[in-house]
Structure 1
Amino acid sequence: MEVKLLTYTPEPDRVVATAARLCYAPQDAETVWAGFTREKQEEFLGRLSAYGHFSPYEHVSFTFAVAGVSRALSHQLVRHRIASYSQRSQRYINEVSFGVVLPPTVEADPAAREEFERVIAAIREGYQRLTALGVPKEDARYLLPNACQTQLIMTMNARSLLHFMALRCCRRAQWEIRELAWRVRAEALKVAPLLFREAGPPCLVRGECPEGTMSCGRPYTKAEVEASYGLA
């Protein structure tokens, strides 16, 4: 899996702070902007987060390139609706040599891996035969598995990203999209450390789990996150 932050709204922390402060300030936007030192941004954004006032976060967006992930992941990802996605098309791209994402549980079991690879080889052969018979790629793709690798570009505003990370960084999220969420979080923190300082699963951010009886019982710690992803 590869995750890269391609572009983002410049000075995202300051943009959000200015947008929120303007609602209550008699000054114009330029004056509010100029008055927001880094220290004031940190204090003000802390209050915004504590109040749960996240609509100003929608003024900034982040665009990520994601590669080496499965169609199983992308089907989950597009359920996050306040976002924009552009994905490699199986309708136009010949997928006779498609790559696959191998789940860790399959990779760890030699017999399971052998069976997985046997089926994938059969699918590749079937896809090649269909296209050789003149079946359009848009129809031959019906054979392709969820394991098929894809790549996409994803744009979300900061509010949507916070929601995405809260749900998908959780241990109960499916393993592949959970890995994506943590990598997205790490990239976002590099450029907007104030906006995303409380990004992640509720057990890490608030010290409590909202899942009730469905809780995994294994809350994340800052030390674990630091060791795995470099930024806690």
Structure 2
Amino acid sequence: MKSDLKVSLVRYTPEPVKTVAMAAKLCYSPVGIEEISEKMSDEQAEKFVKMLMGFSHMSPLEHISFSFAIEGVSRTLTHQLVRHRLASYSQQSQRYVSETEFDFIVPPAIEKDEQALKAFNESMEMIQSSYEKIRDILTENKTKELVEKEKMEEKSARSKAVKLANEDARFVLPGACETKIITTMNARQLLHFFEERTCTRAQWEIRGLATEMLKLVKEVCPVIFDSAGPGCVRGACPEGKMSCGKAKEIKEKFLNL
């Protein structure tokens, strides 16, 4: 069954702008954190952070983080997502969660072509059937082994056998298989993530996810994320000869996101 993207911002650091401002000011202040906080209004914090965003002093941004719940994405996407190593991830396990009747992601290029879509859906059905067949065979074999050799009760043996069967049966599952994941990134890493993954050269699925994530953080922390997006939003396109040639159009899109 086809699945659609769903992403929500579930947690973020309270008073993110003030937290960044305090962290940055502490580096240059002879007074303590409490005094810095007491003397700084929200307006002053916002003004200071706006100025800070124009400098290369980005480490204070690491003190605020944002957690996203992501559903309706493929394993192909999460293989790319976890390459952003300065982040935390918790993903639905294919060892402990059986993928019987799994949902899957259909690439747009396949979805709009009748012949390609037919072949794709047939492949998903075949994989589903193979997965369930392998899982059932392995479950029965392992249950029997645990009962006979380890003298386990059948109910307990089957419960353990299912997990072991999932572990091996999942090898036939496709990259299109739908998954769910929670990720937490600090603001500095998010800015880098957006620069890399909202670019037109990024793969379509993760580009869509990154854009939705950017919309969410812009709502709660515009001071830091208002000019976030691909590299061309803040200057010349960093892709050189590989540029899409639409820098002006892309910049306008993300500044008005």
TM-score (norm 2): 0.85
- The 8 Å contact of residues 106 and 176 in structure 2, kept in 1 or not, is answered as yes
Report the counterpart of residue 236 of structure 2 in structure 1: 208
Structure 1 residue 113 corresponds to structure 2 residue 142: no
The letter for the 2-side match of 1:101 is I
Structure 1 position 222, deviation (Å): 5.4
Alpha-carbon RMSD: 1.4
Q: Distance in 2 between matches of 1:65 and 1:164?
A: 16
TM-score (norm 1): 0.94
Deviates more, 1:116-125 or 1:42-51: 42-51
Identity over aligned pairs, percent: 48
The letter for the 2-side match of 1:186 is K
Q: Distance in 2 between matches of 1:68 and 1:100?
A: 8
Choose the corresponding residue for 1:175, options 204, 216, 219. Answer: 204
Answer 1 or 2: which has greater helix percent.
2
Structure 1 residue 74 corresponds to structure 2 residue 103: no
Q: Between Structure 1 and Structure 2, how many residues are aligned?
A: 227
Structure 1 residue 128 corresponds to structure 2 residue 157: no
Structure 1 position 189, deviation (Å): 1.2
Choose the corresponding residue for 1:217, options 220, 234, 245. Answer: 245
Q: Structure 1 stretches of 5 or more lacking a match?
A: none
Structure 1 residue 92 corresponds to structure 2 residue 96: yes
Q: Distance in 2 between matches of 1:80 and 1:87?
A: 15
Alignment of 1:1-232 (within 5 A): 1-135=5-139, 136-204=165-233, 206-219=234-247, 220-221=249-250, 223-225=252-254, 232=257
Q: Distance in 1 between matches of 2:229 and 2:179?
A: 25
Q: Distance in 2 between matches of 1:116 and 1:34?
A: 61
1:32-60, Cα deviation, whole Å (9 max, x unpaired): 12232233223211222211111011111
Q: Distance in 1 between matches of 2:250 and 2:41?
A: 31
Q: Structure 2 stretches of 5 or more lacking a match?
A: 140-164
Q: Distance in 2 between matches of 1:202 and 1:222?
A: 9
Structure 1 or 2, whichever has the larger Rg, is: 2
- The 8 Å contact of residues 227 and 254 in structure 2, kept in 1 or not, is answered as no
